[in-house]
Amino acid sequence: MPKPPPEQTRTEPETVPLGVPAPEAEQRRTGPQVIAEYVKTLPSGPGVYRMLNSDGDVIYVGKARSLKARVSNYARLGGHTNRIARMIAATASMEFVTVRTEAEALLLEANLIKRFRPRFNVLMRDDKSFPYILMARDHAAPRILKHRGARNRKGDYFGPFASAGAVNRTIGMLQRVFLLRTCSDSEYENRTRPCMLWQIKRCSAPCTGEVSMEEYAKQVDEAVRFLRGESQNVREKYQQLMTEAADNLEFERAAKYRNRLWALAHVTSDQTISAAGIEEADVFAAHQEGGQTCIQVFFFRTGQNWGNRAYFPRADRSLEPSEVLASFIAQFYDDKPVPRLILTSHELPERDLMAEALTTKAARKVEISNPKRGGKTDLVAHATDNAREALQRKLSETASQTALMKGLAERFGLPQAPRRIEVYDNSHISGTDAIGAMIVAGPEGFAKNQYRKFNIKSQTVTPGDDYAMMREVLTRRFKRLASDTADSVSSTVQAPKNETGTGQDGDEDILQSVPTRPDLILIDGGAGQLAVARQAMDEAGISDIAVIGVAKGPERDAGREHFHIPGEMRPRMLEPRDPVLYFVQRLRDEAHRFAIGSHRSKRAKGLSSNPLDEIPGIGPTRRRALLRHFGSAKAVSRAAMEDLKAVSGISAEMAQKIYDFFHEKRG
């Protein structure tokens, strides 16, 4: 099957104005009547449709073999599940894209779901890129390294691996067996004697000629063959070389090959499960429990297990595991290479269509199988066990986090358990490179994608004035909160809460999202910082968010923290072994870690910047000439006019500019 044009699979095509929208005066209507207006002129061919609410947000993306038939189902009254009924009731408008085949529609649907993240679709909640091993061949001595992102560098790529740890372990193994270099090209060029990796027998040191380039090239080729699954051939070759060396009484050389054989034996035996008979495959297993779904993915390449990763997609609890799995797989391969074989724990709906779509994307045959017997069932069973264990761990952690949230509300008299806690801290050195930091915690732990750092911008802040820095950070944050028209709405549209605390009809959005508006704010500091926070909140007109100052105890003793609460004359203390106290300490320590890390990053950038770059007219050539002549930017700043003129390429006019620049800065 020919591969479809890129614009129909990788990016969103131009929206075709199909259907007749509701009259302009009635655009605020929602429900089946609005959808029925579109049905009249829709084609019967395949395509993708988007359902939008009254705010213009995409709430659902779907594909259809026949757009007219599928959308007609939404226009009829009754016969829908609670989830679909809520989705229809919230629909204010629709958009459509026509494609040539249903397989193209499936690929485009997955692409749009990842782009718009609609509330009523199954969503991947972790879309990080996978690491690869790269044998870079843009140098005379190829280098092995970890790689992420676009694969446009010359060399051989192997992967994907489930995690950076799996890549690092594999690279470490390849160093032991094949003695490959991992240093950067600049380190390689400037090396005058072998580094420690050569001394501990992790590198053959081609940089200093300890191994000939011909011999090193052979080691690289052997490593590539091993990564391609030819481990048995490599082992047989080393056994032969070891025997020949021993017969020739070259015992040191024979010991070298013996050590490589030992390392190979250790590597090939270090497999958690056997992948006999499987050259290239991904294994997907789903497990549902407690209204949540875990999908475990195992990667097998060249007959080896290259790791696994657990995912927890956001999905309505009414969906069957097979439905969640099918939607997840389509999104999973939107930006990842597709293997030749995909094994699943459940029979996928429209499995043949999925295989056709992935075959189109990969430009080669892709098989999707739900094995019922044979060795492949063991792989799927193992993945299913891992999915079950991962979900049970997550549910246990979530239950513990929920209990701590409830305990926090009880200790400090909050009306209900907070669902979003924001913790603030500052970091600086004598007022320089000042940074304010905000971390966020929710029912499932730290929400690191919502952390924020604030560069202190005010010119009136006295260096080292913690109160002023905290005031600036909180003022900026609360002004943003006050101006947000959806303060009380979560980052995903939420259903109203019922008595159990979940969304109506089992909607998972309540449990699985963190609101944009905090229920509790913790300030790292005592009464002074708390007063600053209250002042910033009053100026922003915010009075419904609880705020507490967390001050370290006497002699900064952890465990004796004082909690300052507005309206209370004396600070509170918690029992030394109270789990809630440990929880607050963990929150504060995370804010401290994030603030210090952000400050160090900013300071490092400042240290690496060159003041010569700020002088107009100084480009790379003149900068190199100045540094070569004086040795450092500091020496340039102290140079006299005559000395500056003596530098090659620096005219009298440019010397004056340089001199004035530094003297004005010092004055």
Residue in the block written with tokens 């191994």: 211
Is the predicted pLDDT of residue 491 greater than 50, yes or no?
Answer: no
Closest residue by Cα to residue 125 from 284, 315, 260, 271: 315
The CATH number of 280-392 is: 3.30.420.340
pLDDT, residue 508, reads 38
Class of domain 6-116: alpha beta
Per residue in 419-461, pLDDT (tens digit) is: 999 999 888 665 567 788 899 998 888 888 889 988 877 766 6
The residues spanned by each domain of the chain are 6-116, 280-392, 418-605, 611-666
Residue 10, amino acid: R
Share of residues in the chain with pLDDT > 90 (%): 32
DSSP 394: H
Task: Please name the CATH architecture into which domain 611-666 falls.
Answer: Orthogonal Bundle (1.10)
Closest residue by Cα to residue 468 from 543, 537, 528: 528
Rg (CA), the chain: 31
Question: Cα–Cα distance between 596 and 400 in angstroms, integer?
Answer: 28
DSSP 639: -
Q: Residue 108 — pLDDT band, cuts 50, 70, 90?
A: very high
Is the predicted pLDDT of residue 15 greater than 50, yes or no?
Answer: no
The answer to which of 205-214, 341-350, 456-465, 595-604 has the lowest mean pLDDT is 456-465
Is the predicted pLDDT of residue 4 greater than 60, yes or no?
Answer: no
Q: Residue 484 — pLDDT band, cuts 50, 70, 90?
A: low
Average model confidence (pLDDT) across the chain: 81
pLDDT mean over 602-628: 75
Q: Residue 16 — pLDDT band, cuts 50, 70, 90?
A: very low
What predicted TM-score, i.e. pTM, was given to this entire model? 0.67
611-666 shares the fold of 280-392: no
Is the predicted pLDDT of residue 24 greater than 70, yes or no?
Answer: no
Closest residue by Cα to residue 493 from 117, 176, 84: 117
Is the predicted pLDDT of residue 384 greater than 70, yes or no?
Answer: yes
pLDDT mean over 49-53: 94
Instruction: Please tell me which residue, 79 or 548, carries the higher pLDDT value.
Output: 548
For residues 113 and 331, the answer to whether their CB atoms sit within 8 Å is yes
Question: Cα–Cα distance between 331 and 106 in angstroms, integer?
Answer: 10
Q: Residue 555 — pLDDT band, cuts 50, 70, 90?
A: low
**Phi, psi angle pair for 40, to nearest 5°:** -60, -35
Instruction: Please tell me which residue, 328 or 266, carries the higher pLDDT value.
Output: 328
Residues 6+ apart with CB under 8 A from 300: 275, 278, 279, 280, 281, 282, 283, 306, 339, 379
CATH of 418-605, picked from 3.60.10.10, 3.90.650.10, 3.30.420.340, 3.40.50.300, is 3.30.420.340
Question: Cα–Cα distance between 531 and 174 in angstroms, integer?
Answer: 58
Q: Which long-range contacts (CB under 8 A, 24 or more apart) does 346-355 make?
A: 346/286, 346/321, 346/322, 346/370, 347/322, 348/322, 349/322, 349/323, 350/106, 350/326, 353/102, 353/103, 353/106, 354/106, 354/326, 354/329, 354/330
Planar angle of CA 235, 238, 240, nearest 5 degrees = 110
pLDDT, residue 665, reads 45
pLDDT mean over 62-89: 90
Residue 45, amino acid: G
Q: Residue 222 — pLDDT band, cuts 50, 70, 90?
A: confident
Alpha-helix residue ranges (DSSP H) falling in 503-630 = 509-512, 527-540, 579-608, 620-630
pLDDT mean over 551-570: 78
Is the predicted pLDDT of residue 316 greater than 80, yes or no?
Answer: yes
